[in-house]
């Protein structure tokens, strides 16, 4: 199949689906624990930080329009350091995929298939993601374009319908009543967007790589407003103290939300269907990114065999946490560390590229800043 350059809407769809994933269920917990009533403000600041980090990646990638993250890093900091740091990141992406599939399994056996073994739900989602990740970049983009309306539109519908049950006083004071944990809350919420780092993989396939920053801006605006709206709805409906004792506040929001005239008295089943779609697209992105990162590190011409080769390792990682509490503890800690690692590495590479005055040409060759 002939490869076709990716359009801007396709890249936006990839980024939106990559950001909205399994973490949307417990997400309101992070800002609420950090700032109480000020959770919406923490979420806004988190997405400002996440946008700055992703914009840096977009600018770096558009500076080397025909290079993936491994090859552009090699041109900037050298072959072996770049491969080592990218290998570490690829391993982290595999862990991220594993924990996402485990979170999916925990939610499914808790809410829907209560008699189904956890291992069955986890392996089914991983196999589904692995098979889909064997696609080329165009098919990968088409899948995201197809699923993005089924993720974004129902999510906004549920948020709007739930706001009728909100109590405005729960959102006051807007700056919150806790301040010592704001930074931790900002990083925790921002780390939920880390699958969007796939921008470094898709920029070389864009029709106009120089517009990578614009696509990042649009996708972060869409997902950021959605996440802030979800936090506003959850805090407005439940209040911060009740949210702190809920495992999945967003799911609970769906349970108390109904369509007008009680056409559907509860929307949790519809929300779970929406969430299942978002988990699939999120795992598709992280797994696709993982196998391509490993293939680029080891200079493999075809990444497809890695999708099945890595599957047992990812499954074993997914089953490591002994309980759902331990799982979320690991996600919280490892997610923040991995996010800060990748952001720091990208900023360092970007600054070195600027200081050395180098950039890539459209044919992939190195070009001096004044060339």
| C-alpha span between 172 and 167 (Å, rounded) | 10
Q: Give the per-residue pLDDT at 272.
A: 84
What percentage of the chain has pLDDT greater than the value 70? 93
Q: What is the pTM of this model?
A: 0.92
pLDDT at residue 273 in the model: 83
What is the distance between the alpha carbons of residues 289 and 144, in angstroms, rounded to a whole number?
A: 14
Burial class (CB in 10 A: 0-12, 13-18, 19+), 261: exposed
Give backbone dihedrals phi and psi of 266, rounded to 5 degrees, phi first: -135, 140
d(CA 312, CA 320): 13
Cβ atoms of 123 and 97 within 8 Å: the answer is no
Q: Which of 367, 226, 290, 270 is nearest to 90 (CA)?
A: 290
Give pLDDT, residue 178. 66
pLDDT of residue 50: 95
Which CATH homologous superfamily contains domain 10-368?
A: Amino acid/polyamine transporter I (1.20.1740.10)
Distances (CA, A) of 91 to 56, 73, 88, 342: 22, 17, 5, 12
Q: Measured between alpha carbons, how far is 159 from 69 in angstroms, rounded to an integer?
A: 36
d(CA 148, CA 132): 16
Q: What is the pLDDT of residue 217?
A: 95
pLDDT at residue 236 in the model: 93
pLDDT of residue 363: 53
Query: Low-confidence residues of the chain, pLDDT below 50?
Result: 364, 368-371
Q: Are 20 and 151 in contact (CB under 8 A)?
A: yes
What are the structural domain ranges in the chain? 10-368
**Could you give the angle at which helices 79-111 and 268-297 cross, rounded to 10 degrees?**
160
């Amino acid at each position: 199949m002939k490869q076709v350059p990716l359009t801007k809407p396709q890249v936006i769809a990839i980024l939106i689906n990559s950001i909205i994933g399994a973490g949307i269920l417990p997400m309101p917990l992070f800002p609420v624990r950090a700032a109480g009533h000020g959770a919406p403000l923490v979420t806004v600041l988190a997405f400002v930080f996440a946008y700055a980090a992703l914009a840096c990646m977009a600018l770096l990638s558009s500076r080397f329009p025909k290079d993936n993250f491994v090859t552009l890093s090699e041109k900037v900091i050298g072959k072996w350091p770049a491969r080592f740091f990218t290998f570490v990141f690829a391993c982290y992406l595999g862990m991220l995929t594993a924990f996402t599939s485990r979170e999916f399994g925990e939610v499914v056996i808790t809410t829907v298939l209560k008699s189904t073994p956890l291992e069955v739900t986890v392996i089914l989602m991983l196999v589904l993601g692995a098979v889909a990740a064997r696609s080329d970049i165009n098919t990968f983009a088409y899948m995201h374009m197809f699923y993005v309306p089924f993720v974004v539109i129902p999510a906004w519908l549920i948020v709007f319908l739930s706001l009728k049950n909100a109590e405005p006083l729960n959102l006051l004071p807007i700056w919150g009543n806790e301040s010592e944990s704001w930074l931790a809350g900002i990083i925790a919420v921002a780390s939920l967007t880390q699958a969007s780092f796939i921008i470094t993989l898709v920029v070389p396939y864009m029709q106009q790589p120089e517009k990578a920053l614009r696509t990042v801006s649009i996708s972060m605006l869409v997902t950021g407003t959605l996440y802030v709206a979800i936090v506003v709805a959850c805090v407005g409906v439940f209040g911060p103290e009740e949210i702190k004792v809920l495992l999945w506040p967003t799911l609970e929001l769906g349970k108390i939300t109904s369509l007008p005239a009680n056409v559907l008295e509860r929307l949790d089943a519809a929300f779970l269907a929406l969430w299942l779609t978002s988990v699939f697209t999120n795992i598709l992105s992280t797994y696709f990114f993982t196998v391509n990162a490993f293939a680029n590190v080891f200079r493999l011409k075809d990444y497809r065999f890695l999708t099945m080769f890595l599957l047992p390792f990812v499954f074993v990682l997914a089953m490591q946490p002994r309980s759902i509490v331990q799982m979320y503890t690991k996600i919280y800690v490892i997610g923040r560390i991995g996010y800060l690692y990748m952001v720091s590495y990208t900023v360092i590479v970007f600054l070195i590229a600027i200081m050395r005055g180098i950039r890539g040409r459209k044919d992939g060759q190195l070009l001096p800043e004044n060339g």
